């Protein structure tokens, strides 16, 4: 009876030390839980004017920062144009329910101004669109079929071939979870991110399910040279421990599902991807261990299975790719070796392997000294009609790959260029081919 008419604080004080004290405290916690609707809090829907974009961004920051355990923060089923730079730390036991759309854009008149005025740190680097730091037991969900985060990345990508030279990588990620624990992300569509789409770094216990990432310049079903100028639009990028991503779809112009430095115990399954691969890397001076990709379909992807070191003395071990189908990849279906990338405005620079290799004379692609691959298994992998030779496996002679197994890795109608009858570029690999693997990389042994 006391809880019904006393304040929670008085009720807790009166029952402190008694058997009912814990129950009263729990009931009071439930009583304090609230539903915070951003429109009710003052956000304006359907208005992309400059003043409203800033107002809505401020309301996001203010309302999210005030969430208490048990609260539900709701974006109703409307479109809200907002300014990014929303940074929230320390939330516990809250639900972020996105029933409508958060659109990180303003009207056409202010498109360039939106980028120029985007919130920045003291060094001039932009903040993320949404950034959650050190949160515990947090759920991102929707009561609708899907909730949407729309990055409107086209303005950040700029004119194909020129935009990257203008802005480089100083572009915001759409959603970042940093140092968070016990996180569920579900039923979200993350569209047209200016930069990496979803970045969960140093997380402990993350599940992502029934979500979609899409980043493309056009609506076509391929990755042309124009499409791929939407550089760095990574899909799901994760680092940490105990991660499960399943029943998700990614179409993008960079790594689709990607394991970053210092990661252990991760499973990616029942996924569709088209981009630059089911990726581990690029890895530097860290340990990556116990990673599984399985039950995946990749249509018209650029790369397929992609493991890469950028430098350092790290290790990638105990990795399984299983039950993977890759249809018509435009580049390499299988790549295990140095990262094929440039970290400068010279797009053919080798950091450590040139993206112009092996097409451009003089382009380099060396193995990475000190970087160790071990216990890498590809099982039941089917590649259909790759445009190029099936793949690349390159390690430095100081640290050759150990125990790489291709078990029922079948490439149908492989392209002839650039490796001809060798099919693979294969250097410094201790490899074993089993089952119906065909063709067999030239430096592999056949199982007896």
Per-residue model confidence as pLDDT tens digits over 372-409: 999 999 999 999 999 999 999 999 999 999 999 999 99
Lowest mean pLDDT among 167-171, 210-214, 270-274, 315-319: 167-171
Quote the pLDDT of residue 148: 98
C-beta contacts of 268-271 below 8 A and 24+ residues apart: 268/292, 268/293, 268/294, 268/296, 269/245, 269/293, 269/294, 269/295, 269/296, 270/246, 270/295, 270/296, 271/245, 271/246, 271/247, 271/295, 271/296, 271/297
Quote the pLDDT of residue 13: 46
Quote the pLDDT of residue 9: 46
**pLDDT at residue 312 tops 60:** yes
Quote the pLDDT of residue 70: 98
Taking alpha carbons only, the member of 393, 429, 392, 391 closest to residue 410 is: 391
More confident residue, 24 or 236: 236
The C-alpha atoms of residue 264 and residue 274 are separated, in whole angstroms, by 24
Per-residue model confidence as pLDDT tens digits over 161-195: 787 777 889 999 999 999 999 999 999 999 999 99
**pLDDT at residue 5 tops 50:** no
252 near 228, Cβ under 8 Å?
Answer: no
Per-residue model confidence as pLDDT tens digits over 54-78: 999 999 999 999 999 999 999 999 9
Quote the pLDDT of residue 161: 75
* Residue listed under structure tokens 């899409």: 214
Lowest mean pLDDT among 100-104, 113-117, 237-241, 444-448: 444-448
Assess whether the previous peptide bond of 352 is cis (omega < 30° from 0): yes
Residue 148 is encoded by which pair of tokens?
């949407």
Q: What is the mean pLDDT of the chain?
A: 93
Per-residue model confidence as pLDDT tens digits over 424-433: 999 999 999 9
Q: Using CB atoms within 10 Å of the CB of residue 213, give its burial: 0 to 12 exposed, 13 to 18 middle, 19+ buried.
A: buried
> If pLDDT is split at 50, 70 and 90, which confidence band does 18 have?
low
**pLDDT at residue 14 tops 70:** no
* Residue listed under structure tokens 């939106």: 114
Assess whether the previous peptide bond of 68 is cis (omega < 30° from 0): no
Quote the pLDDT of residue 231: 83
Quote the pLDDT of residue 228: 85
The C-alpha atoms of residue 99 and residue 147 are separated, in whole angstroms, by 5
Quote the pLDDT of residue 28: 52
Tell me what percent of the residues of the chain surpass a pLDDT of 90. 85
Cross-strand bridge partners of residue 321: 293, 378
More confident residue, 20 or 107: 107
Quote the pLDDT of residue 32: 67
> If pLDDT is split at 50, 70 and 90, which confidence band does 21 have?
low
Quote the pLDDT of residue 230: 86
211 near 233, Cβ under 8 Å?
Answer: no
**pLDDT at residue 24 tops 90:** no
Residue 136 is encoded by which pair of tokens?
């515990």
The C-alpha atoms of residue 307 and residue 233 are separated, in whole angstroms, by 18
What's the average model confidence in pLDDT over 140-158?
A: 96
> If pLDDT is split at 50, 70 and 90, which confidence band does 3 have?
very low
Quote the pLDDT of residue 12: 42
Lowest mean pLDDT among 86-100, 136-150, 157-171: 157-171
Per-residue model confidence as pLDDT tens digits over 333-346: 999 999 999 988 88
What's the average model confidence in pLDDT over 106-135?
A: 96
């Amino acid at each position: 009876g006391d809880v019904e008419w006393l304040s929670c604080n008085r009720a807790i004080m009166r029952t402190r030390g008694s058997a009912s004290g814990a129950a009263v405290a729990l009931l009071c916690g439930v009583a304090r839980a609230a539903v915070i609707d951003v429109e009710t809090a003052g956000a304006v829907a359907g208005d992309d004017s400059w003043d409203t974009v800033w107002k809505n961004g401020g309301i996001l920051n203010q309302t999210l920062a005030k969430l208490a355990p048990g609260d539900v923060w709701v974006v109703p089923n409307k479109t809200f144009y907002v300014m990014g730079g929303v940074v929230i730390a320390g939330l516990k036991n809250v639900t972020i329910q996105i029933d409508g759309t958060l659109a990180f854009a303003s009207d056409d008149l202010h498109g360039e101004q939106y980028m120029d005025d985007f919130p920045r740190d003291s060094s001039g680097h932009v903040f993320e669109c949404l950034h959650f730091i050190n949160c515990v037991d947090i759920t991102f969900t929707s009561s609708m079929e899907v909730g949407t985060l729309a990055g409107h990345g086209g303005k950040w990508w700029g004119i194909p071939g020129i935009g990257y030279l203008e802005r480089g990588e100083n572009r915001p990620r759409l959603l970042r979870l940093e140092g968070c624990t016990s996180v569920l992300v579900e039923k979200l569509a993350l569209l047209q991110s200016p930069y990496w789409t979803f970045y969960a770094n140093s997380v402990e216990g993350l599940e992502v399910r029934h979500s979609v990432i899409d980043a493309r310049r056009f609506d076509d079903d391929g990755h042309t040279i124009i499409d791929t100028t939407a550089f760095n639009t990574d899909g799901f990028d994760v680092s940490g421990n105990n991660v499960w991503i399943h029943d998700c779809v990614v179409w993008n112009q960079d790594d689709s599902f990607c394991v970053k430095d210092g990661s252990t115990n991760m499973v990616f399954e029942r996924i569709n991807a088209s981009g630059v691969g089911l990726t581990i890397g690029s890895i530097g001076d860290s340990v990556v261990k116990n990673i599984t990709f399985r039950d995946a379909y990749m249509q018209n992807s650029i790369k397929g299975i992609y493991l890469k070191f950028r430098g350092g003395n790290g290790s990638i071990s105990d990795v399984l790719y299983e039950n993977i189908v890759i249809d018509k990849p435009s580049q390499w279906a299988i790549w295990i070796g140095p990262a094929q990338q440039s970290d400068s405005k010279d797009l053919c620079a080798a950091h450590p392997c040139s993206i112009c290799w092996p097409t451009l004379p003089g382009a380099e692609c060396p193995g990475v000294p000190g970087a160790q691959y071990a216990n890498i298994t590809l099982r039941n992998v089917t590649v259909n009609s790759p445009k190029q030779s099936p793949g690349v496996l390159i390690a430095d002679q100081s640290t050759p790959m150990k125990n790489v197994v291709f078990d029922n890795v079948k490439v149908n109608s492989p392209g002839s260029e650039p490796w001809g009858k060798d099919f693979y570029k294969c250097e410094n690999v201790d490899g074993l081919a089993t089952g119906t693997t065909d063709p067999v990389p030239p430096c592999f042994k056949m199982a007896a």
